[in-house]
Structure 1
Amino acid sequence: SFQIPLPPLPEQKRIAEVLDKADALREKRHLALQKLDTLLQSVFLEVFGDPVKNPKGLPKTKISEISTRITKGESPNWQGFGYEDSGIRFVTK
C-alpha cells in the first residue's frame, strides 16, 4: 500500500476554500460569456434582422461577386500584397 502525505487539516480546508472560489469564478465567467453571446445575437438581429427572412430587405450577393480574388490560407505579405488602409483585399476566418 502507498502512503500519501497530506497537509494538516487547516491547510486542507484553506486549499478547499481556494478551489471553491476558483470554481465559483469559473462558473461566473461561463455565465457572463453566455450572456454576452445572447447580447451579441440580439444586437446582430436588431441591426441586420433575421438573415433567413431578411425583413429589412438587405441586398444579398456572393462574396465572389464583390471581390477580386478569393484564396485559402494566404497572407498579404507572402503573396506580395501590402496591407491596405481601406477596402477589403483579404477575408480571413
Structure 2
Amino acid sequence: MTDPLRARAVQQVRRKRGLQVHALWFVLVTLILIVVWLIWLRTIFFWPLTGLLPWAVGLAFHAWAVYNPSELDDARVEREMSRLHHRRPTPD
C-alpha cells in the first residue's frame, strides 16, 4: 500500500519538473527567434512577439496550475461546507 502523502508529493514534483521543461523550451526558442530577428530581419517589426506572447500566457497558466493546484483538499471542503451551512435558510 502506498502512502497518499508520498503519492501527492511525487505528483507535485512531476508537475514542477514539467513546468521547468516548459520554461526551458520557452527561453531557448525565445533566444533563437530573437537572434534570427536580429541577424536577418531587423528591419521588419518584432515578429517573434506574435508567437512568444501567447506562449508566455500559456506558460503563466501552467505555472498557476502547478503552484496553485485546484485539487480539493480538506481545508477547502470544510470552508465551503461552513459557508453553505451559514447560508442555509432557517425552517419556518
TM-score under structure 1 length normalisation: 0.41
Q: Which structure has the larger Rg over C-alpha atoms?
A: 1
* Greater relative contact order (Cα < 8 A, sep 6+): 2
- Which protein is richer in helix relative to its size? 2
